[in-house]
Chain A
Amino acid sequence: MSDKKRIKVTINGKEYEHDVVPRLLLVDYLRDYAGLLGTHYGCDTTSCGACTVIIDGRSAKSCTRFTVQVDGRELLTVEGLARDGELHALQQAFREEHALQCGFCTSGMLMSAYDLLSKNRQPSEAEIKRGIAGNLCRCTGYLSIVAAVRNAAQKMQSKDSPS
């Protein structure tokens, strides 16, 4: 057996410290160690994007990352989007545009959209589609999700704040 490693990580502004085996996947760390169940375990094969989180400002599929790799890094999960009880512009837009039905893909969609809007504040429709190309949704047909990302971009533009 392999030795456990001590890791320290900041998630949504809070510090966590645990001993983990090297093969522990980040998605399991988030759910089982940090107790953050918003990050969903979908396909487990780097395909569906339900487990998407932000690591040091870049979106990543947490089923395709060992927890030891994020030692010392800063993470943002869907739980970190809302502030002071107020939904993030993306969450509000998803709600307004009915951009979810079963909701399983939603946290990953939100994090991919967050990644997109943090780099491109006014994406075209094609850019939005490319931005969420790593996330699968089986319910909506994507149209309402694309509309929600566009809506969120407008909200964030008028608020003039990326967070």
Chain B
Amino acid sequence: MYPRSFEYTVAKSVDEACALLAQHGDNARVLAGGQSLIPLMKLRLASPNYIIDIGNIAGLDGITEHGGELRIGALATHSAVLDHQTVRQRWPLIADAVGVIADPQVRNWGTVGGALAEADPAGDWGAVAMALNARVRCLSPRGERFIDAESLFVDAYTTKLAGDELIVEVIFPAPRQARAGAYLKLERRAGDFAVISVGVQLALSERDVCEDARIALAAAGLTPILARRANEFLTGMQLNATAIDEAAQLVAASSEPLADIRGSEPYKRSAAAELFRDALDLARKRSHGEEALAGHVR
């Protein structure tokens, strides 16, 4: 399969990339790792006339933690995040999620910023960013602005980014409780798009009273979904069986899955509830300092 012909330009800086985007408008697309864009172009679901390759711009792939806050550069690959010791030790929700993104070859080249900007409904980074209350730093010819992950996504494959704006960094604030997170994906086979994915980040007291909970879903609608009602319900609750049952129902109700080859709407809703229970259990164990591994295939 071959995409339509296009003009190809290597951007050497963010400024240059933004200027080229401003010049070519909707006819241009940004190429970073290309692991979503190239398949879309080969299927001719995307047929840009201009490709602006930002993959070689220096300094956009850093991963740093400072004062508990984690910053991931837009060009950091999923593999780089997965292999990062700080992420593995202190950000289990992120480590779980990148570990189940596609396969090693795709993780080696696909980028965090690219995945967020692509806004694939089944993409994991949107739900990860929402569960961790992250924001993205963006640059355009008009300067810098920050967008909360919660409000970044408008529709399938559509974000709030302007046509000449680039995500340059994702900023994850220090969680109230480090390590108290988990992310699980239900997939039919290794590397497939998710049937449904659930991320859970908690802050628990010693007696398992939930001081804060953020639950977000991927592949559960046209955009990543923050399960607001479940989050509000759990805050202040003792995490007992009744509360978890109620929260699982709220998570299922917040999902808006579409029936497709991966399952019917009711199936996906119940999968969201069950996956939430498992993710909550993992996050709770980790909050108590237990080493709990998320299964690759469930």
Could you tell me which A residues sit within 8 Å of B by CB distance?
A: 1-3, 5, 21-23, 25, 44-47, 49, 52, 58-61, 64-66, 68-69, 112, 115-116, 119, 126, 130-131, 133-135
A23 in contact with B6 (CB, 8 Å): yes
Cβ-neighbour of B190 out of A44, A46, A112, A133 (below 8 A)? A133
* A-contact 0/1 string along B1-34, CB 8 Å cutoff: 1111111100000000000000000000001001
* Known pairs A3-B7, A58-B108 / 15 extra A-B pairs, C-beta < 8 Å: A2-B6, A22-B6, A61-B105, A64-B38, A65-B38, A66-B34, A66-B38, A68-B8, A69-B34, A69-B53, A130-B190, A130-B296, A134-B102, A134-B106, A134-B191
Complexed CA–CA distance, A150 and B131 (Å): 38
Contacting A at CB under 8 A, from B141-174, are none
Which residue on A lies nearest to B83, using beta carbons? A119
- Tell me how far the C-beta of B99 lies from the nearest C-beta in chain A, rounded to whole angstroms: 8
A138 CA to B43 CA in the complex, in Å?
25
Task: Enumerate the 4 nearest inter-chain pairs by beta-carbon distance, A residue then B residue, closest first.
Answer: A134-B103, A22-B8, A58-B108, A133-B190
Chain A residue numbers with a CB within 8 Å of B236 are: none
Residues from 41 to 74 in B contacting A, C-beta threshold 8 Å: 42, 51, 53, 55
Q: Are A69 and B55 in contact (CB under 8 A)?
A: yes
What's the nearest-Cβ distance from chain A to residue B82, in Å? 10
Q: List 10 A-B contacts (CB under 8 A).
A: A22-B6, A22-B7, A23-B4, A25-B2, A45-B1, A46-B39, A58-B79, A64-B35, A112-B105, A134-B104
The answer to whether B109 has its CB under 8 Å from any CB of chain A is yes
Q: For the complex, give the distance between the alpha carbons of A68 and B193 in Å.
A: 28
Evaluate contact between B8 and A5: CB separation under 8 angstroms.
Answer: yes
Residues of B within 8 A of A65 (CB): 34, 38, 109
Residue count of chain B within 8 Å CB distance of chain A: 29
The CA-CA distance from A133 to B191 in the complex, in Å, is 7
Once the chains bind, are A133 and B35 in contact (CB under 8 Å)? no
With both beta carbons as reference points, the residue of chain B lying nearest to A108 in the complex is identified as B105
- Determine if A23 and B39 form an interchain contact, defined as CB atoms under 8 angstroms apart: no
User: By the criterion CB–CB under 8 Å, are A23 and B3 in contact?
Assistant: yes
Tell me if B39 and A64 are in contact (CB < 8 A): yes
Bound-state Cα–Cα, A123 to B39, Å: 31
B34, A44: Cβ atoms under 8 Å? no
Closest residue of B by beta carbon distance from A119: B83
B3 cross-chain contacts in A, Cβ below 8 A? 23
**B149 CB → nearest A CB, Å:** 26
Q: Are A2 and B8 in contact (CB under 8 A)?
A: yes
Closest Cβ of chain B: how far from A76's Cβ, in Å? Answer: 13
B51 to chain A: which residues have CB within 8 Å? 22, 66
Q: Which A residues lie within 8 Å of B34 (CB)?
A: 64-66, 69
Q: Which residues of B contact A133 (CB under 8 A)?
A: 103-104, 190-191
Query: Knowing A69-B53, A133-B190 touch, does A2 contact B7 (C-beta < 8 A)?
Result: yes
